[in-house]
């Protein structure tokens, strides 16, 4: 039932949403309301998908196990033919669930969409001018793809390091107070391939970099003294950049700590105050 609900939800999505789920990539400049509408429905589907996939996976495992055990049904005094029939039905059930499991897994979107992008958009929509557009570039394809290779380092005949740079989230917007805001999340991944006589090994080490770049309006307290009325050279926006690094990630689906991101934005607004006081 859960699988059917997930498939039904997927069928009800728009072409843009289906393309996003298929390609794991989306970019554009729309109003926060439009972004939220798109992301919310995909998130709802993803939640159903996660649930259905788990059920399908366990059902498949159970189906295979019981279809095997049905071969021993004669121990309970039942004819072997009954065992063979039950086994065949359970095997079909298990095969169908295996198909659904892999089919739904292909449509899986990282939890960062549901637990970071969606609440972040909701918060940002509060500070954006009504009708203003938010430029977003979301790429959930993962870091270990060819186009994201930064460099390859062959340490020895047996060990090769491949460095990936994955800027999977980039957003740009103009806030209500005129501040230009740029958000970026980049995963820096090192994958170490170790050749061994019997089995090759691959180890991952990753860092996540959160970056906030803000251009404060010239009317902010910290920039007030630098701005002269009528002087166009001085009407530039003061820029402030804050970055935060998280190291030692072993799971690239690790959900971004939203508070850390908000602290970066809040930190820049705090800086404006401190600069004024200093």
CB under 8 Å to 223, separation ≥6 — which residues?
A: 216, 217, 237, 238, 272
For another protein, the closer CB: 27 or 219: 219
Q: How far is the CB of 189 from another protein (least distance, A)?
A: 27
CB 30 within 8 A of CB 69: no
Longest CA–CA span in the chain (Å) reads 98
Residues in touch with another protein (CB under 8 A) = 40, 47, 114, 118-119, 122-124, 126-127, 175-178, 217-221, 224, 229-230, 259, 262-263, 265-266, 269-270, 273, 276
Distance (Å, whole) CA 66 – CA 95: 13
Tokens of 240: 């402030």
Q: How far is the CB of 263 from another protein (least distance, A)?
A: 6
For another protein, the closer CB: 79 or 119: 119
For another protein, the closer CB: 89 or 242: 242
Q: How far is the CB of 257 from another protein (least distance, A)?
A: 11
Q: How many CA atoms lie within 13 A of 154 on its CB side?
A: 4
Distance (Å, whole) CA 87 – CA 69: 8
Q: How far is the CB of 82 from another protein (least distance, A)?
A: 45
For another protein, the closer CB: 107 or 114: 114
For another protein, the closer CB: 71 or 119: 119
For another protein, the closer CB: 79 or 266: 266
Range 148-153 contact pairs with CB under 8 angstroms and sequence separation of 24 or more:
150/188
Q: How far is the CB of 251 from another protein (least distance, A)?
A: 18
Helix (H) / strand (E) containing 260:
helix 258-277
For another protein, the closer CB: 15 or 229: 229
Distance (Å, whole) CA 88 – CA 68: 10
Q: How far is the CB of 219 from another protein (least distance, A)?
A: 2
Q: How far is the CB of 221 from another protein (least distance, A)?
A: 4
CB under 8 Å to 231, separation ≥6 — which residues?
A: none
Distance (Å, whole) CA 47 – CA 2: 11
């Amino acid at each position: 039932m859960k699988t059917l609900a997930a498939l039904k939800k997927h069928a009800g999505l728009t072409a843009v949403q289906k393309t996003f789920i298929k390609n794991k990539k989306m970019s554009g400049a729309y109003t926060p309301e439009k972004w939220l509408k798109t992301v919310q429905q995909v998130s709802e589907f993803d939640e159903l998908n996660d649930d259905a996939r788990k059920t399908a996976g366990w059902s498949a495992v159970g189906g295979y196990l019981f279809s095997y055990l049905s071969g021993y049904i004669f121990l309970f005094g039942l004819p072997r033919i009954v065992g063979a029939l039950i086994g065949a039905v359970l095997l079909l059930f298990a095969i169908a669930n295996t198909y659904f499991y892999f089919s739904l897994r292909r449509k899986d979107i990282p939890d960062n969409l549901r637990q970071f992008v969606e609440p972040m958009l909701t918060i940002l929509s509060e500070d954006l001018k009504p009708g203003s557009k938010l430029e977003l570039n979301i790429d959930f394809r993962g870091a270990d793809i060819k186009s994201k290779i930064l460099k390859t380092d062959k340490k020895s005949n047996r060990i090769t390091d491949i460095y990936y740079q994955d800027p999977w989230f980039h957003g740009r917007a103009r806030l209500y107070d005129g501040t230009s805001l740029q958000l970026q999340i980049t995963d820096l991944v090192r994958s170490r391939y170790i050749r061994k006589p019997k089995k090759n090994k691959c180890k991952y080490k990753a860092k996540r970099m959160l970056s906030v770049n803000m251009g404060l309006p010239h009317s902010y307290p910290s920039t007030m003294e630098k701005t002269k009325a009528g002087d166009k050279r001085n009407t530039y926006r003061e820029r402030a950049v804050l970055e935060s690094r998280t190291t030692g990630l072993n799971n690239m689906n690790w959900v971004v700590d939203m508070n850390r991101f908000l602290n970066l934005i809040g930190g820049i607004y705090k800086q404006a105050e401190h600069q004024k006081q200093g």
